[in-house]
Chains A and B, each alone.
Chain A
Amino acid sequence: MSQRTERRGIHVDQSDLLCKKGCGYYGNAAWQGLCSKCWREEYQRVRQKQIQDDWALAEKLQREEEAAYASSHGVQTQSHSQSAAPHSGQATLGTFSKFEEKKTNEKTRKVTTVKKFFSPSSRTPPKKENQEGKTTSPSVSRHASFETDQVSRDFVDFLKNLQKPGREIHKQCRAFIINMSSKKDLGADELSECVQDFYQSMSDRLMSHFKGSSESVEQVMDQVEKYIMTRLYKSVFCPETTDDERKDLVTQNRIRALHWVTIQMLCVSMDEEIPEVCENVVKAITDIIEMDSKRVPRDKLGCITRCSKNIFSAIRITKKEPASADDFLPALIYIVLKANPPRLQSNIQYITRFCNPSRLMTGEDGYYFTNLCCAAAFIEKLDAQSLNLSPEEFERYMSGHASPRFSSSESNWLHPGSKPGVTATNPVLAQLSDNLELLSSLSSRQESLMEAAKNLQADLLSWPESVQQEVHDILEKYPLEILSCKVSAIDANNMDNDNLPPPLTPQVFTG
């Protein structure tokens, strides 16, 4: 064969060219002398081993955590686990395998490890979730525990890259969470103090480990915050020891009472008649509302930052220049008034108490957060003067006796000469009056419908009567004479009778 001669020509022993596994196929230097099939197998084996090693480590870390948790929570956990463990365990497993289905290929071995990792007997956190979440519905607590699991997994994944220090960090965090679980009765400030002390000591250690590279430290600290705050969230967000909840209600009612405040009163430089601006305003409102659904302080900050950036876009489009603080703060106040974000005070307190301080002090997120605090404070203290209104006007709007929409003193944003309130230049007001018109036309249509229904009812009621009358009249006209109709006279009115042959008569034959 020509191939063979060629090889001989360059003095290569044929055995060198065959697959090192001895399967008989040719190998390839790029595949470390293996054939494609053997190479694939080998590669998979190495990869799988690595994946398995990773998970063995994760499992080990997790077991240690549970052991530590159980020893600190001994009796309570055990007695509780009898009732709760099977259910919560199944729930976790169920949710998890569903999640796992989504992932593709090469996972068969991993899945078994992972399932073991999350099997009922080796899980503690879901039980903890159950204990705390007595009042939450099963689906909520299942979701929460799934989220917690996911975060723990991500954390372990992240720390694996750091090798030995990663282990140490995990240990510290675990110990801290366990320690915190015994401090549930502490006041909010003490809890905050504990968490902040932990951040401080952790970042000091990291700083010396990374030799002063603050980026690396920040990266790890973000993960640490995510891990511990996801776990502590339920017990430290709006805790019963504070009056956060009462303040939330006060703020919520306050914002409701201020529903009449217009964009003009706040001197906001956003023109909502521009569709793009309007879109940004809606997005900003959505972002700030979303904040309440996040658990990690940094994620909450992320919502505030997104909200702020949408406001900046809106201002930029309106003013055609970058937004300064003079533009931004009034706009943010306006957005907060429009959104009435759920549990605003609790969220502000939570971020203040539990966020990694370096973010809040100098970072961009911190700036937007500070402005949100300012907006909340402004709304709380807002009075006639803050809106350039007379105290009487303010009182009338607050009490609902007047609305700026119909007030002549505010005619600068109403078309002069036209009926007040019908052709408002403000798009929101315009939409409002459109809606009102629609509503009133609806109500008149409803009225005529009701009228028609009543007529129909009356008609229906009189109908049987009239039918009866009719029947009666007819009966009167053509009285029924049952007697005159004789059954025996079947052929009584047969006109052709005479033409018929006479009836056959019996003939008598003799003989």
Chain B
Amino acid sequence: MAAGGTGGNSGKTYSFKVVLLGEGCVGKTSLVLRYCENKFNDKHITTLQASFLTKKLNITGKRVNLAIWDTAGQERFHALGPIYYRDSNGAILVYDVTDEDSFQKVKNWVKELRKMLGNEICLCIVGNKIDLDKDRHVSVEEAESYAESVGAKHYHTSAKLNKGIEELFLDLCKRMMEMAQAEERLKGNGASQSASSRRGVQIVDDEPQATPAGGCCSSG
């Protein structure tokens, strides 16, 4: 499902969908506004909305259109998660380093995503608000070893200080490109194209999908 890539061999443009998941108030909206508008807690932000933002990148000569989907973090909307993250190429799971609970929520999301989408999605676990390190309640070691154990990558960010955010998105894009290329190779090798790869909103297919070994998420 990760093949967001379109185009011939030369001027290829990749289109990726990335969802932001996590408890309310951990800083999802702040992260994406910092990344796309380079603003934080700014009352003069000109964008009408901060729930769907896009960014165009150029990575090693390849064009990438990144669409970042913010999700409603309130508990009562939790059950709607699958509608948001279907067909995503990547997910950014955000917690607040000063809030133990929010890290627990991330673990729940990981379980759910792996169950629903298998390895077809690049996962990023993000500990935000590292500027408040003195109030840290989630240990760096614990978070990083957890991320590794579930095939995700871990990042530390501060939307306030603009730390670690560029790296997070750039890294994620590279991993999604690798995944898309691996799928293309699979396609090129004569493996039948999965019906879901071109399907917009047709939900989960039950057949276990053969995913390329050494996919982007397991390779460091």
Contacts and interface: CB of A to CB of B under 8 A. Distances in A.
Interface of A: 192, 196, 199-200, 207-208, 211-214, 217, 267, 309, 312-313, 315-316, 320-330, 352, 355, 357-364, 366-368, 370, 373-374, 377-378, 381, 385-386
Interface string B184-201: 000000000000001111
Given A358-B15, A361-B87, A362-B67, A212 B52 contact: no
B57 interface: no
B72 A328 contact: yes
B80 A378 contact: yes
Interface string B55-83: 00000000001010111111011011001
B52 to A, nearest CB: 4
Contact of A361 (B15, B43, B48, B54): B15
9 contacts: A200-B198, A207-B7, A212-B6, A322-B48, A323-B49, A324-B70, A325-B29, A328-B72, A385-B76
B8 A207 contact: yes
B29 A324 contact: yes
A207 to B, nearest CB: 6
B103 interface: no
B104 interface: no
B139 interface: no
Given A352-B202, A364-B52, A378-B77, A211 B10 contact: yes
Contact of A212 (B12, B65, B70, B198): B12
Given A370-B83, A381-B79, A322 B47 contact: yes
Interface string B135-148: 00000000000000
A324 B27 CA distance: 11
Contacts of A352: 200-202
B215 interface: no
B17 interface: yes
Q: Which 6 A-B pairs have the closest CB atoms?
A: A357-B200, A360-B200, A212-B8, A212-B7, A325-B70, A329-B72
A357 B74 CA distance: 29
Nearest to A313: B48
B170 interface: no
Given A358-B6, A378-B80, 18 more contacts: A199-B198, A200-B198, A211-B8, A212-B7, A212-B9, A212-B10, A322-B33, A322-B45, A324-B28, A325-B71, A326-B72, A328-B72, A352-B202, A364-B52, A370-B83, A374-B72, A374-B83, A381-B79
Contacts of B83: 370, 373-374, 377
A326 B80 contact: no
Given A326-B73, A362-B16, A377-B83, A357 B198 contact: yes
A374 B7 CA distance: 31
A368 B16 CA distance: 17
A122 B74 CA distance: 60
Given A312-B48, A377-B80, A196 B7 contact: no
Contact of A326 (B4, B24, B65): B24
Contacts of A374: 72, 77, 80, 83-84
Contacts of A309: 48
Nearest to B30: A324
Given A212-B12, A323-B48, A367-B69, A361 B17 contact: yes
Contact of B49 (A196, A212, A322, A357): A322
A196 B51 contact: no
Nearest to B79: A381
Given A323-B49, A323-B50, A362 B15 contact: yes
Interface of B: 4, 6-13, 15-17, 24, 28-29, 33, 43, 45, 47-52, 54, 65, 67, 69-74, 76-77, 79-80, 83-84, 87, 198-202
B7 A214 contact: yes
SS of A interface (majority): helix
Nearest to B85: A370
Nearest to A215: B13
Nearest to A376: B83
Contacts of A381: 79
Nearest to B13: A214
A504 B9 CA distance: 146
Given A212-B10, A212-B12, A323-B51, A357 B199 contact: yes
A362 B65 contact: yes
A208 B7 CA distance: 8
B48 A316 contact: yes
B52 A367 contact: yes
B76 A326 contact: no
A377 B78 CA distance: 12
A196 B24 contact: no
A360 B198 CA distance: 11
Scoring B10, B11, B12, B80 by chain A CB atoms within 10 A of each residue's CB, the highest score goes to B80
Contacts of B10: 211-212
Contact of A329 (B15, B50, B77): B77
B49 to A, nearest CB: 4
A364 B52 CA distance: 7
A309 B54 CA distance: 16
B200 A355 contact: yes
Nearest to A332: B72
B49 A312 contact: yes
A366 B29 CA distance: 19
Contacts of A211: 8, 10-11
Nearest to A372: B83
A312 B51 CA distance: 10
A208 B113 CA distance: 35
A323 to B, nearest CB: 4
Contacts of B28: 324
B6 A207 contact: yes
Contacts of A366: 200
Nearest to A356: B200
A358 B17 CA distance: 11
B192 to A, nearest CB: 13
A325 B15 contact: no
Contacts of A378: 77, 80
| Max chain B Cβ within 10 angstroms of own Cβ: one of A200, A212, A327, A385 | A212
